């Protein structure tokens, strides 16, 4: 019988070439994945670090029987922010104010208009949040004459 096959030298060369080709494809994929992940994480890290010293506090809430009012907000952090706010009553109605730019250390008012009937007995919550830095905000969740004025 005449058995024919490839020589051991050619088999070894083909095996090495196949291994190198597979390794090249895997390295290219890993390189692209690593670059993309690093870029995403870098962007998120810069945002988090930039907002780490941002903070806002509600100083006072004013609501009139005519349906207007304001939430006085103090930027107690070290980053300029854009801040918005909402007042809620216990019936589930709410009114959202007009966003304001609030430099670091400044105090300003988020102006409220067309608020539902909010009185000392229906006030549920006032909330402010930064549209510049997610997770930065403050709220008042109970009526207190030192924090909320309702006329």
Task: Retrieve residue 142's tokens.
Answer: 């109970």
Give residue 127's pLDDT band: very low, low, confident or very high (50, 70, 90): very high
Give residue 82's pLDDT band: very low, low, confident or very high (50, 70, 90): very high
Give residue 2's pLDDT band: very low, low, confident or very high (50, 70, 90): low
Identify the pLDDT of residue 58. 92
Identify the pLDDT of residue 57. 92
pLDDT digits (tens, 9 = 90+) for 48-61: 677 888 899 999 98
pLDDT digits (tens, 9 = 90+) for 94-126: 888 889 999 999 999 999 887 767 777 778 888
> Is the per-residue pLDDT at 83 higher than 60?
yes
Q: For tokens 């994480």, what's the residue? A: 41
pLDDT digits (tens, 9 = 90+) for 65-78: 777 888 999 999 88
Distance CA 82, CA 73 (A): 11
Task: Retrieve residue 1's tokens.
Answer: 């019988």
Contacts of 52 (CB under 8 A, 6+ apart): none
DSSP 95: E
């Amino acid at each position: 019988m005449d058995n024919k096959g490839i020589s051991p030298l050619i088999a070894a060369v083909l095996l090495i070439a196949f291994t190198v080709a597979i390794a090249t494809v895997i390295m290219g994929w890993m390189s692209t994945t690593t670059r993309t992940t690093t870029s995403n994480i870098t962007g998120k890290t810069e945002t988090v670090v930039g907002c780490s010293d941002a903070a806002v506090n509600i100083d006072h809430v004013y609501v009139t029987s005519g349906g207007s009012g304001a939430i006085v907000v103090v930027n107690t952090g070290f980053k300029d922010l854009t801040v918005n706010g909402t007042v809620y009553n216990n019936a589930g109605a709410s009114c959202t104010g007009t966003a304001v730019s609030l430099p670091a250390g400044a105090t300003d008012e988020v102006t409220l208009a067309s608020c539902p009937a909010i009185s000392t007995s229906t006030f549920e919550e006032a909330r402010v949040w930064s549209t510049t830095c997610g997770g930065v905000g403050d709220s008042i969740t109970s009526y207190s004459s030192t924090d909320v004025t309702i006329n």
